[in-house]
Chains A and B, each alone.
Chain A
Amino acid sequence: MKNGDYVPPRQSALGQFFDSMFLLALVFAALFAPLYLGLASGGKTELEVADKTTWSGLGQNAVMQAGWEKLGYTPETAAPLIISRFDYSFDQLALGVTALVVIGYFVLVVAFSKTEYREVIAERFGRRDR
C-alpha cells in the first residue's frame, strides 16, 4: 500500500451482523414477500369452453384424452389446466415504467461504478494529470 491510499475503517462485529441481516431482510422483503402474499400470480384468464365435464366439451381429441387419462386426470380435474390462459393484454404505461426501471437501474449502476472505478485506477496507476 502506498502513502495516500484509502484506508478503510474496520467494521465492528455488530456492524457486520446488521449488514448481514439487512441483506437477508431485503431478499425476503423484495423477493419473497410478493410470492408469499400472492401478489405475483396475476395475469391469468379463463378460456370459454362448451362443457367442462366432458373431454370433447374441453376441446380435447381422442389422443389428448388418452394422454390425460394415462396421467390420472378426469375432465373435471383437467379442466382448470385446459381453460387457464395467460392474459397478455397489458397497460402501455406499466410497460413504459418497467422499461424505465430496468434502464434506470443499469444507468445508476454504471454511473456510480464509474466514480468508484476512478478511485481504483488512481490508486493502482497513480493520479492522471488532466
Chain B
Amino acid sequence: MTQTTTIHGEKISLLRVLGPGHVWALGVGIVLVGEYMGWNFSVGKGGAMAALIACWVAGLLYTCVAMIDSEVTSTVAAAGGQYAQAKHIVGPLMAFNVGLFLVFAYTMLEAANAITLGYLIQTVGGMMGMTDAAGEALVLHDKPFIVLTIMFLAWLNYRGVYATLTFNLVITAIAFLAIIILFFAVKPWTTEVLQHEELLTGLPYGWIGVIAALHFGLWYYLGIEGTCQAAEEVRSPARLLPLGTMTGIMTLLIAATMTWFICAGLMPWEYLGQAVTPLFDAARLMDSMPLMVLLFIGTIFSTLASANGCINDASRAWFSMARDRYLPQWFGAVHPKYRTPYRAIVFLVPVAVLFAYYAPLDQVITFSILSGLLGYTFMTFNVVMFRRKWPLGSIDRGYVHPMHPLPALVLLLLCSATYFAVFLGYGTQLMAMMLFFIIASLWFHFHRYRYVRRGDQFSMPWPRPQGDY
C-alpha cells in the first residue's frame, strides 16, 4: 500500500511498510545513548534517589508527549514531524522556531556523543599504560577524536553512506544487550556486588533536589517523539504509532531503572553525578575485562549510532527550512551525485565541533535538553489549537488521544517544573537560549519572512480552519 503526499510541490510516495517493531526500534535507537551518558548528571543535581524519582516523573512527561504527538502526527502525515505540524496549525514563525529546536537538540546531542566518545578513548588509552621510546607515559588526548568523529560522520552523511535503519538497529541492539548482560553480571538478586545500603545517602539536597534532577531526567527519553516522524510509513498509524511509542517508553523506563540500579549500587553518588561514561565505569568496578570490553563497545556503538542519526536529522531539518525559504535557499540544494543536503551538513559541522571541543558535557547536554523542552511546551498549545481549528469529525484523524486536554495540562505543568529545574544551577544557559530564540524570531518576522511564499506553507488537504485563527 502506498501513500502519496505533496511536499514542496513534488509528488512523493512512501511505502507503508513499518510495523510496531520498527516504530519501537526507531524510538529506542535514537534514545538509548541516554542510558550510557548524561542521565547521571541528575544524580549530581539531587542525589541518587532524586534521580530515580526524576526518571519516573520524566516518564510521565514523555507519556503525555507520546499521546499528544501520536494524534497530531498521525493526522499531519507529512515529512518533517513537529515542523510540519507548526506550519499547518500555528504559523510560519512557530515553524521556524520548531525547526531550530530540532536542529539544536540534534546538533548538541551530536556534540555530546563526540565528547563521550573522545573521553572514553582517552580513558582506555590511559588504562593501557602506553609509553614512548624513552619510557615516558603517553597521554592520549580526547580532542582529536572528538573532531575526527564529527568530521568522519559528516563525511559519511555527505556521501550518503549513512547507516540504514537496519544497521543502526543492529548496533543499538548490541548496546542494549550490553546493559542487560551487565545487569545480570552484578547479580541484582544478591548484595554480593551491589551495595545500595552503603551507597545511597537519601536526598542530599532535600526535595528541591528532586525538582532540580528533573532537568537531566529528561535525558533518559529525549528524542523518543522521533517515532512519530515515521507517520507516513507506518502500516496502520492509528494503532501502531501509539503502540510502538508507548512500548518504546516502557522499554526505556525499564532500561533506565536497570541502569540506575547498577550504577547507584556500585559507585558513590558524588562520582556518579559527574561521570562522563557511567556504565563503562560500572564495568571497570566489576574487575572483569570481558565486561569492560563489552561496555566499551556498547558506549562506542550507542554514541556513533546516535551521532550519525543526529547529523542526518539536523541537516534535513535545516534543509527543509531552506526549501521553504525560512533560511537562505542556498542550503536547500541537493548534491547532484550523492543526493544529500550537503550544504546543510557542512554548515552545521563547525557548530558541532566548536561546542564539542570547548564546552563541558553537562552544558552541551543542557542546550539539547532545553531545545527539546521548548518543543514539548509548543506541543501543549499546539494540540489545543489543533482541536479548536479542526474539531473531532471535521477531518480524518489517524488516532484520537483520550482525556483531552488533561495530557496537555499535565505536560505544561511538568514542562514548567523542568524550566525551574534548569533554572536551578543552569539559569544562565536558560537565559542564553531564550535570548537566542527571541533575536532569531525577530530576525525572521521582520526580515526573513519577506522571502517566504505564503500559500505554499499549507499543503494538507484539509478544510479552512474554524474559529478566529
A interface residues, tally (CB under 8 Å): 77
Q: Is the CB of A26 within 8 A of B355?
A: no
**CB distance A82 to B455 under 8 Å?**
no
> With a CB–CB cut-off of 8 A, which chain A residues contact B420?
95
Residues of B within 8 A of A30 (CB): 432-433, 435-436, 439
| Residues 73-97 of A contacting B (Cβ, < 8 Å) | 73, 78, 81-82, 84-88, 90, 94-95
Q: Is B152 positioned at the interface, with any CB of A under 8 Å from its CB?
A: no
Provided the pairs A120-B92, A121-B458 are in contact, do residues A105 and B431 lie with their beta carbons within 8 angstroms? no
Within 8 A of B (CB), among A1-45: 1-2, 5-6, 8-9, 11, 13, 15-17, 19-20, 22-24, 26-28, 30-32, 34-36, 39-44
Known: A23-B440, A105-B438, A108-B441. A42 touches B428 (CB 8 A): yes
Partner of B469, one of A41, A86, A104, A118: A118
Contact (Cβ within 8 A) A94 B469: no
Q: Which of A5, A16, A17, A71 contacts B271 (CB 8 A)?
A: A71
Which residues of chain B are within 8 angstroms of A5 by Cβ–Cβ distance?
Answer: 453-455
A88 and B198 contacting across the interface, CB-CB below 8 Å? no
CA A72 to CA B437, docked complex, whole Å: 43
Q: How many residues of B contact A (CB 8 A)?
A: 82
The docked-state distance in angstroms from the alpha carbon of A108 to that of B434 is: 12
B449 touches A116 (CB 8 A): yes
> A119 touching B94 by the CB < 8 A rule?
no
The answer to whether the Cβ of A102 comes within 8 Å of any Cβ in the partner chain is yes
Complex interface bits, B128-143 against A, C-beta within 8 A gives 1, otherwise 0 = 0000000000000000
A110 CA to B469 CA, complexed, in Å: 11
**Nearest-Cβ distance from residue A102 to partner chain B, whole angstroms:** 6
Is B285 at the interface (CB under 8 A from chain A)? yes
Chain B residues within an 8 Å CB radius of A118:
469
The docked-state distance in angstroms from the alpha carbon of A54 to that of B325 is 62
A7 CB to nearest chain B CB (Å) = 8
Please give, as numbers and ranges, the residues of chain A lying within 8 Å of B328 by CB-CB distance.
11, 15-17, 19-20
| Residues from chain B with Cβ under 8 Å of A87 in the complex | 425
Give the distance to chain B from A27, nearest Cβ to Cβ, in Å. Answer: 6
Knowing A20-B328, A109-B441, say if A63 contacts B90 (CB, 8 Å). Answer: no
Could you tell me if A112 and B455 are in contact, using CB atoms closer than 8 angstroms?
no
- A98 interface hit (Cβ, 8 Å): yes
Q: Closest residue to B108 on the A side, CB-wise? A: A31
- Cβ-defined contact, A20 with B330, below 8 A: yes
Q: Contact between A32 and B267 (Cβ–Cβ < 8 Å)?
A: no
- Which B residues touch A13, using CB under 8 A? 330
Shortest CB–CB separation between residue A45 and chain B, in angstroms?
11
Cα distance, A120 to B326, chains bound together (Å): 14
Flag if A9 contacts B426 (CB, 8 Å). Answer: no
Question: Is B394 interfacial (CB 8 A cutoff)?
Answer: no
Give the residues in chain A near B351, CB-CB below 8 Å: 24, 27
B11 within 8 A of A: no
Contact of A16 among B330, B439, B452 (CB under 8 A): B330
User: Would you call B423 an interface residue if the criterion is a C-beta within 8 Å of the partner chain's C-beta atoms?
Assistant: yes
List A contacts of B124 (CB < 8 A): none
Query: A86 with B425: in contact, given A110-B94, A121-B458 (CB under 8 Å)?
Result: yes
One of B285, B432, B454 near A34 (C-beta < 8 A): B432
Residue in chain A with minimal CB distance to B107: A27
CA distance A27 to B371 in the complex (A): 13
* Residue B166 lies at the interface, judged by CB distance under 8 Å to chain A: no
A88, B455: Cβ atoms closer than 8 Å: no
Question: Which residues of chain B are within 8 angstroms of A64 by Cβ–Cβ distance?
Answer: 198-199, 268
The distance in angstroms between the C-alpha atoms of A85 and B433, with both chains bound, is 24
Is there an interface contact between A101 and B359, defined as CB atoms closer than 8 Å? no
Minimal beta-carbon separation of A96 from chain B (angstroms): 11
Please measure, in the bound complex, the distance between the C-alpha atom of A34 and the C-alpha atom of B427, giving whole angstroms. Answer: 12
Q: Is B56 an interface residue (CB 8 A)?
A: no
Is B285 a contact partner of A90 (Cβ separation < 8 A)?
Answer: no
A124 / chain B contacts, CB cutoff of 8 Å: 455, 458
**Within B412-469, which residues are at the interface with A (CB < 8 Å)?**
419-420, 423-441, 443, 445, 447-455, 457-458, 464-465, 469
Q: Does A117 lie within 8 Å of B451, measured CB to CB? A: no
Given contacts A26-B440, A121-B465, A125-B464, contact A67 B285 (CB under 8 A): yes
Query: With A and B bound together, what is the CA distance between A40 and B445 in angstroms?
Result: 29
Distance (whole angstroms) from the CB of B443 to the closest CB of chain A: 7
Q: Is the CB of B271 within 8 A of A109?
A: no
A117 and B274 contact, Cβ closer than 8 Å, known pairs A63-B199, A95-B423: no
Tell me the chain B residues, 267-303 only, with Cβ under 8 Å from chain A.
267-268, 270-271, 274, 281, 284-285, 287
B93 pairs with A67, CB closer than 8 A: no
Give the CA-CA distance A81 to B420 in the complex, in Å: 24
Given contact pairs A88-B424, A113-B93, A116-B445, a sample of 16 additional A-B residue pairs in the complex whose CB atoms are under 8 Å apart: A6-B455, A8-B450, A8-B452, A9-B450, A19-B327, A20-B328, A35-B360, A36-B358, A41-B360, A64-B198, A67-B268, A82-B270, A116-B449, A117-B92, A117-B469, A120-B458
Q: Which 3 A-B pairs have the closest CB atoms?
A: A113-B91, A123-B455, A117-B91
Chain B residues within CB distance 8 Å of chain A: 44-45, 90-94, 97, 195, 198-199, 204-205, 208-209, 212, 266-268, 270-271, 274, 281, 284-285, 287, 325, 327-331, 347, 350-351, 354-355, 358-360, 363, 367, 377-378, 381, 419-420, 423-441, 443, 445, 447-455, 457-458, 464-465, 469
11 A-B residue pairings within 8 Å (CB atoms): A8-B451, A30-B432, A31-B432, A34-B428, A40-B426, A81-B270, A82-B270, A86-B424, A101-B438, A106-B378, A113-B90
